[in-house]
Structure 1
Amino acid sequence: MPAADSTAPRLVLIGPPGSGKSSVAAALATRWQLASRDTDADVEAAAGKTVAEIFVDEGEPRFRALERDAVAAALTSHAGVLALGGGAVLDPSTRAALDDYVAGGGVVVFLDVTLAHAGPRVGFNQSRPLLLGNPRAQWQALMEARRPVYEQLATLRVLTDGLRPADVAEQIEQELAVLRRSEGNPS
């Protein structure tokens, strides 16, 4: 269910660290023969360093500015499957851009996950700067703060606990089919 604008993403994935956004984007892109794009990778390419290095060298505000720019660019130029960084939705201009994308016919999928399933996926390692210290407590706090935003922005919600990316991709396709039928759009 692509947005009316042919340069807009076919689908946008949001959710916390460990929900599988990048892997599911790749799985959907393969199924649909589209490109996948991850805004964290876009930020790293623009900065010439990893997300963790940006946090350490330049701070979270600089990372968030780069992330905001990456999301804005991707929403207007990427016609495939787009995965956003977990905190991208906290920026008011990003939320507004996602609202506009949905208003234009785009679909935002909230990939939800519980701590028990996110932990092994994330590994609670150093490459996740916002999870330093007590990673489980940090992740839980992030989710408590972000869940209402994810839920507000989402067209669909899919729980990824215990599922492989291909299984999540299949579930998203099934949910999209239901959504299309409910909107009276058979394709």
Structure 2
Amino acid sequence: MKNLVLIGMPGSGKSSLGRLLADRLGMKFADTDQMIEAAEGKTISEIFAQKGEECFRDLESYWIAEAAGAENTIIATGGGAILREENRRTLRENGVVFFIDRPPELILKSADLSDRPLLAEDWERIYRLYDQRIGLYLACADCRVLNVGTPEQAAERIYSFYKEGGEPK
């Protein structure tokens, strides 16, 4: 099976949905942020604070390429993974890409953003990031999945599209 890639804003539900889908589809699961943290022995916030965003983005590109090189894998990416063209290309070439679109107001209500380096100090920044990134998410995705209900409901929409070979976008 082709890889299934989840992109979207921090707190949009990519990791939770990825785990649900991996179980349901019998696929492996890879979370690129968790891969980075395991390899570095530091949290994403610590990497940002100690090495800066550019170093983190370099690590992210490396681990995206590693995850994308696998087969039969659900890949959950970090919210900024789509900022680099090389990442967008790698993800599209190696999987079916789903944009998990959760409105910023719902992310603020439901997600713990305290460990998100770009949002920890200014949660309202999520609106600006969403506006800046929405075009990249849409351009990269084969399918947009609005995540406004339960994780199970969003996972079912992805599962149906993926299993039935639905039309992109």
Partner of 1:146: 133
3-state DSSP class of the match of 1:68? helix
- Flag the 1:181–1:117 CA change in 2: closer, same or farther, 3 A: closer
CA drift of 1:91 comes to 1.1
Paired letter, 2:137: Y
Which of 150, 160, 167 is matched with 1:174 structurally?
160
How do 1:1-187 residues align onto structure 2 when only pairs under 5 Å count? 2-3=1-2, 9=3, 11-101=4-94, 106-125=95-114, 127-136=115-124, 138-161=125-148, 163-177=149-163, 180=165
| 2:34 alignment partner AA | A
Give the 3 Å change call, closer, same or farther, for CA 182–85 of structure 1 in structure 2. closer
TM-score, reference length from structure 1: 0.84
TM-score (norm 2): 0.92
- Using a 3 Å threshold, how does the CA distance of structure 1 residues 160 and 181 change in structure 2: closer, same or farther? closer
Counterparts in 2 of 1:170 and 1:66: CA distance versus 1, 3 Å: same
Q: Flag structure 1 segments of 5+ consecutive residues without an equivalent.
A: 4-8
For 1:35 and 1:41, the matched residues in 2 are separated by 14
Aligned residues: 168
Larger radius of gyration: 1
How far, CA to CA, are the matches of 2:166 and 2:32 in structure 1?
Answer: 31
Alpha-carbon separation, structure 2, partners of 1:75 and 1:108 = 11
Question: Cα–Cα, structure 1 residues 42 and 116, in superposed 2: closer, same or farther, change >3 Å?
Answer: same
4+ residue runs over 4 A deviation: none
Q: Percent identity?
A: 38
Higher strand share: 2
Change (3 A) 1:123 1:181: closer
Tell me the alpha carbon deviations over residues 157-179 of structure 1, each in whole angstroms, 9 at most, x when there is no partner. Answer: 11101x2222111111223355x
- 1:129-183, Cα deviation, whole Å (9 max, x unpaired): 10133212x111111111000000110111101x2222111111223355x2659
Aligned letter for 1:153? Answer: C
